[in-house]
Every structure is written in structure tokens, then in C-alpha cells.
Structure 1
Amino acid sequence: MLTLRALAHLMAYPNAPMQEALPELAEVIRNEERLAEGPKQAVINLITELQDQPLGEIQEQYVSLFDRGRHLSLHLFEHVHGESRDRGQAMVDLMEHYRLNGYELDAKELPDHIPLFLEYLSTQDETEITDMLGDAMPVMVLLGARLEEKESAYAALFHALEAIGGSCEQARDMRELASTEGPDETITKMDEIWEEEQVTFLGNNDPAGGGCGNTSPGAATTPTDEIPVRWVDNPGAQAAGQR
């Protein structure tokens, strides 16, 4: 799916090749039928902003947003596991899941780096995209809401992912958290929201186990006082590791 690849490139650290490719990326976004005019135009506006600024300024702004603290980290598991040991096992499981689905990592980035995650999904079929993007959607919604609070044009990338993948039951809670948490909070408040609940990821579809609870794009979500999220191990990866 070219749109996911375009969003991955726009979300990655900006460099000269990315800046040169901005017109091509804009064309991919314009041709995406699953994006309504609002989200589509917001991504185009980001591309225009990236075209109009010197590369050094873009890089400085990017580092200021994404590389200083955990508040806007582009690593999925940092928003769930923090620095706990569970994060290491989740990384191993995700890497094995990539491998079992024909995607070998040769980059320096960790497997939960969102641009890399989107690159992987861009090579997969619709079922894999829907399942994995849906599992990650609470984090995507939270990051989009935090960027919107900062009035950053990068929020458009996460809103586009929500429009493509469908929102989730936790969306209202994530946006409320972003609007009330103050500047650069650590993982503490996420822990409070997710305490004693489960996030399903990598194929656990048992409704009793929690999960994102995807809704189709534009559909209403049911308010909830609980946010069922905790990333779980991939049974397929564990079985592969035992062979």
C-alpha cells in the first residue's frame, strides 16, 4: 500500500532524498481514495511546509518533537512497556513476526519504530494491515492528539492512519489524556489508563483479552471508562522459536 509507505517516509527523520521526493509523496496522498478531503489536505499541508523550509530547520524541528523524551516517541512499545523487561520480549516477538511474514530487517532502527512498522505493513495484505494497524491504533491516536495539542503539522500523519485503519474504542480517552496531561509527561498516566487491562497484538483476537476494538473509519465509538490495552506475545513467534 503506497500510502502507508508515503506516511512512513514523511514520519522518518528528514533528509535530502526525502525532501526531493516530496512532490511524489504528495501525489500518492492525493490519489488515496480512503482518505477524506480533510485528512488528505492536512497531509498535503505538511508536505508543503516541508518543501518550503531549509532542511536544517526541518531536522531541528523534528528532533525537538520526537527525539527529546518519551512524550512523542516514535517507538510503539515505549508507550506501553516503558523501560520494563516486557519491552525486550515484545521486540523479539515483533521481529519474529516480521520474519515469518517475509520481512527481514536490515535497518538500524528498532522493530517497533513506527516508520519501519508502516514500511512493513505496506508490503502486506489488507488483513495484516487491518489487524496490526488496529492493534497499534490507541498509540497512534494518542500521538496524533499530542501533536495536535502542540499545533504541529505532523499530527496529520497520525490522523491519516486513523482514517485509513479505523479508529478505536479508546480514542476519546486518548484525546482527553493529551488535552489534560500537560507538557512532556512520562509513561505514568498511560499506566494509569491501561492498568490491569490488555492490549492485543500480533494475532490475539480473543474479545475477552481486550484489544483495540477497531471501528470502521468515520463510525461512532462507544464511550468507555476502561481502556483495554497491554501488548501480548506472538504465539506464532514463540512456536517458531521452539523449533
Structure 2
Amino acid sequence: MRLRPTRRQGPSDTELATAWQVASLLLGYPDEEMLERRPLFRRAVEGLPASAAEPLGRFLDHLDATSLRDLETDYVATFDHRKRCCLYLTYYAYGDTRKRGMALLRFKRAYEAAGLVLDEGELPDHLAVVLEFAATGDLAEGRRLLLEHRAGVELLRLALTEARSPWAPVLEAVSATLPPLTGRDEDAVARLIAEGPPEEEVGLAPYGGAEPSGPVFLPDPVLEARSS
């Protein structure tokens, strides 16, 4: 009898948490603190599977070669001025409809169940927040939220790739940590590409009374531990 090595089925929980935490931080608004963390990012990425490490490494190379002012300008032009590059996941599935407000509540309740709360005035479906929650709060629940909005993650990746955005590799790394698209998700992506997100006059009334007319761009959200 010959012994065969066990085939790995995918990244470990530790690798997932590391990849998601790094991606979360790299999707935040660029600042001096982000640049100072580059050596830490490099060390973290070294231990990841190549499917995540290689694209994250490409983005870190971009950080090394780009001034902070140019990073800031490009970030605003990419994520604040292009609806297809919106970082708020529920926008892709629900657009500005009442259903989006209910979806936001599901995110908020998931964070609260893990003992975490967002700063006031921030929406809980920002991809950086979801990744941070998955990495540091509840990996299984965070993964479920990501899979629930798998089509939105894929559409964002495609939009960034089409725009040749330097942030495209970060989404490539995130996608590499998730299962391949199913037929249902592929259909959803094709529909979103063809039609765009749903539209409705009502907006986000079920979530805190806010009624934005498009994707809502907020300062970088940060999860905080709930005080006892």
C-alpha cells in the first residue's frame, strides 16, 4: 500500500482570516498609517496561498511605487465616482429599494450577535467592514455574508479589472478565498452587467430613515468591540 499526501481542499481558517484582514485594510482610504503598515502586510501575505498572496503582493508593489497623494486621488475617482465600483455590497443586489434597507439590518444584527457595533452613521455592508468582521468577529457568519453577496463581489472585481484599477488585485484575492461562482451567481452577475441594480424611489427608509439617491459613500468604517 502506498501512502498518498492529503489534498488540501482550500485555505485554512487562519489563512482566510489573514487574507480578509489584509484585504479589509487595503480597501480602506489610503493614509500614512496604511503606508507604514506595508512591512506588516508583506509578512502576513507571505503565509497565504499563492492565489491570494500573488495579487495582494501586486497591490503592495503599487503602494511602494505610488505617492500618497496619487493614491488618495485614485481612490476617490475609483470608489466615490463610479457606481459600478461601489464598495457597499447590498447596492448590487437591491439598488436603492426598500429591500436594501432590510438587507442592511441583517448585516447589523450579525455584528451585534458577535458583540460588535459600527460607529454611528456608517452602513454595515461596506466590503472592508464585512471582511474585517469575517476576519476578527465571526469567520463563519462573515463568510456567509460574503457568499450571500457573491455576485456583488464578482461584479466589483470585474468593474475594477475593466477600469485597470490598482485595487483590482485586492478583489482578485478576495474572490480567490471564496468558492467559484455557481450558475445562479453567474446569472446574477450577467443580469447586473446588463441591467444594473434595481431602482426605486423609496431608498433606504427601513434602515435608519436615510434615503440616498445612489450608492452612499462614507468614511472608512471601523468595527469596535461593544463595551460591557
Provide the TM-score with structure 1 as the length reference.
Answer: 0.67
Taking the TM superposition and a 5 Å limit, the aligned residue runs for 1:25-40 are: 25-32=41-48, 35=49, 37-40=50-53
Greater relative contact order (Cα 8 A, min sep 6): structure 1 or 2? 2
The residue that corresponds to 2:150 in the other structure is: 137
Q: Give the one of 7, 11, 25 matched to 1:9.
A: 25
Deviations 1:93-151 (A, max 9, x none): 32122101221212653111110111111124443243222212111111111111112
- CA change 1:46–1:92 in 2 (3 A) is same
CA contact (8 A) 1:72 1:143 kept: yes
Alpha-carbon shift at residue 83 of structure 1 (Å):
1.5
CA contact (8 A) 2:130 2:146 kept: no
The residue that corresponds to 1:72 in the other structure is: 85
The residue that corresponds to 1:236 in the other structure is: none
| SS state at 1:122 partner | helix
The residue that corresponds to 1:81 in the other structure is: 94
Deviations 1:126-178 (A, max 9, x none): 43243222212111111111111112231111121121121221564567678
For 1:97, the aligned partner's letter is: A
Structure 1 stretches of 4+ moved >4 Å: 170-178
Deviations 1:46-74 (A, max 9, x none): 11111211111001001111101421110
Alpha-carbon shift at residue 28 of structure 1 (Å):
1.1
Q: Give the one of 19, 23, 29 matched to 2:35.
A: 19
Aligned residues: 182
- CA change 1:154–1:17 in 2 (3 A) is same
The residue that corresponds to 2:104 in the other structure is: 91
Alpha-carbon shift at residue 6 of structure 1 (Å):
0.8
The residue that corresponds to 1:113 in the other structure is: 126
Q: CA RMSD in A?
A: 2.4
The residue that corresponds to 1:127 in the other structure is: 140
CA contact (8 A) 1:14 1:58 kept: yes
d(CA) in 2 for partners of 1:105, 1:74: 16
| SS state at 2:85 partner | coil
Taking the TM superposition and a 5 Å limit, the aligned residue runs for 1:1-243 are: 1-32=17-48, 35=49, 37-106=50-119, 108-169=121-182, 170=184, 172-173=186-187, 188-191=195-198
| SS state at 1:6 partner | helix
| SS state at 2:158 partner | helix
Structure 1: segments with no counterpart, 5+ residues: 182-187, 193-243
d(CA) in 2 for partners of 1:18, 1:110: 22
Structure 2: segments with no counterpart, 5+ residues: 1-16, 200-228
d(CA) in 1 for partners of 2:170, 2:130: 14
CA contact (8 A) 2:111 2:133 kept: yes
Identical aligned residues as a percent: 24
Provide the TM-score with structure 2 as the length reference.
Answer: 0.71
